[in-house]
Structures are given as C-alpha cells and as structure tokens.
C-alpha cells in the first residue's frame, strides 16, 4: 500500500499506534520475520512506543522499552528511562527478560544538527552503540534491527554487523519517507563464536559427530571437519559459522 507521509500518520492514529514508524517494523517483520511468538524483545530508543506496540502484538515473550524520554505505560510492556549508550545500564532492562533478549530493536535517531556530515556520523555512532548492546544482551542466534542513515560510513558499519551475524540485509520499508536517507539493517543469527569464516587454524580432532564428521573444539565452540578422524592434528579453514557450531575443511 502506497501512502504519503500524512497517510501513514492518519492510518497510525486510526489503528491505535503511537507513531507512523510502527508500520516500518510491521513491514520488516513481513519481509524478514525477525520476531517469533515466544521471543523476548528489547527495544532501544523506544519512545513514544510504536515499535513496542508491534512487538507486543507479535510475541507472548517479554517486551522491554529503553529510552531517555518517558514512555507512557503499555500493557504487558516494561519500560526503562535511561541512556542505552552508557555502559552498565542494561541490567535493569534485562531483568524482566531473564538476562538476555532474543531480538534487539533500535529505531533511534540522533539529535539532528542540520549538518549532513555531522548527522550521518551521529547516526552511525548510535547504530554502533546498538550493535554493542548485543554483546551483553542478545542470545546466540538472535536478531537485530537497527536504523542508520546512509552515507560514507554506512558500508563500514554494515561490514561490522556482518562479522557478528549470519545473515545481514539492508532494507528501506515502504512506510519510510520517500526522500529519507534512513536504512534499516536487519541482522539475523547472532554469532558469538571465537572464530569467523575464512580463519585458518590448527586443530585436533577430538570426537566424531552424529553424521560421521570429525569434531574439533575452539574454546568449547564445535567445528565439524568432514573426512577426518579422532586424533588427527591438522590445519583447517573455517567455511561456515553458525550460532553454536561451525564447519571447516582441511587444507
């Protein structure tokens, strides 16, 4: 459905959403299915609460919103008034989620100066802060959706996200303003592994997997190496990394 800016606003008011941006998350969900029905969701920069409303409708898990500005109460949603970019402030937000979230959302925008270079740099910095939150808050295999302005810093930020997630896409929802420079980075499959694709390692095969592949371990992370036997020491290249295990091939 194509609607102009006022059209999305009127639709949000008619359907009870606090912000037109709710439709951006709905369109991201329709395309990428980032929130499952039992997921715990942490929303950074959540005021006024449009994304919280959508998240609450999508999951029976916990939903927590985080913002410097006050968020009017929502049923079945916890809110925390604090600056998520400051270290050490996440503990209160993560408590209702059992210490970790399955999905981290961030639709936050920086304070705009009117200087494009400055505003772009601030947007990338804010997006990096959201990515850093994942280290403390996101479950292995979890998902991240974060807004960032396009510009010279965008490709570098995208590369950073790709080092931490299995699947990464840039997406511009239909509900975004036509001339907006905003882009949503949709990252799925958070990887906490001590290795990355392309790494070359020397390993020992210590076990055999259920499919007959040799198993090596790197700091308790499992690497499956086809065609190898227990007791072999060899050099391998990592070819695929998933949330809890990976695959390598002998060099």
204-220 core/surface letters (b: 16 or more CB in 10 A; e: else): ebeeeeeeebbbbebee
- C-alpha distances in Å from residue 204, one per residue of 208, 232, 251: 12, 6, 14
Cα radius of gyration (the chain): 21
Q: What is the DSSP letter of 97?
A: G
Cβ atoms of 105 and 25 closer than 8 Å: yes
Cβ atoms of 19 and 45 closer than 8 Å: no
Residue 228: helix, strand or coil by DSSP?
coil
Q: Which of 20, 22, 18, 24 is nearest to 7 (CA)?
A: 20
* Euclidean distance between CA atoms 141 and 57, whole angstroms: 22
Cβ atoms of 195 and 241 closer than 8 Å: yes
Tell me the backbone φ, ψ of residue 172, rounded to 5 degrees: -115, 105
The set of residues, in sequence order, having a beta carbon less than 8 Å from that of 142 and lying 6+ positions away, is: 100, 101, 102, 103, 104, 134, 190
**Catalytic-role residue among 24, 26, 147, 162:** 147
Tell me the backbone φ, ψ of residue 12, rounded to 5 degrees: -60, -45
User: Is 147 a residue of the active site?
Assistant: yes
Residues designated as active site: 147
């Amino acid at each position: 459905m194509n609607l102009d800016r006022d059209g999305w606003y009127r639709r949000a008011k008619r359907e009870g959403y606090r912000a037109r941006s709710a439709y951006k998350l709905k369109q991201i969900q329709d395309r990428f299915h980032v929130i499952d029905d039992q997921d715990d969701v942490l929303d950074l920069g959540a005021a006024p609460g449009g994304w919280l409303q959508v998240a609450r409708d999508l999951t029976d898990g916990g939903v927590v919103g985080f913002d410097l500005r006050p968020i009017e109460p929502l049923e079945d949603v916890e809110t925390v008034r604090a600056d998520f970019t400051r270290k050490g402030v996440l503990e209160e937000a993560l408590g209702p989620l059992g210490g970790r979230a399955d999905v981290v959302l961030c639709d936050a925008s920086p304070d705009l100066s009117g200087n494009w270079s400055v505003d772009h740099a601030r947007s990338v910095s804010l997006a990096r802060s959201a990515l850093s939150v994942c280290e403390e808050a996101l479950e292995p295999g979890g998902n991240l959706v974060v807004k960032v302005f396009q510009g010279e810093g965008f490709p570098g930020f995208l590369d950073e996200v790709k080092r931490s997630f299995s699947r990464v896409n840039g997406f511009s929802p239909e509900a975004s303003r036509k001339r907006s420079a905003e882009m949503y980075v949709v990252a799925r499959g958070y990887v906490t592994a001590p290795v990355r694709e392309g790494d070359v390692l020397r390993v020992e095969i210590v076990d055999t997997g259920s499919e007959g592949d040799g198993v090596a371990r790197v700091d308790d992370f499992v690497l499956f190496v086809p065609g190898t036997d227990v007791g072999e020491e060899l050099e391998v290249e990592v070819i695929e990394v998933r949330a809890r295990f990976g695959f390598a091939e002998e060099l």
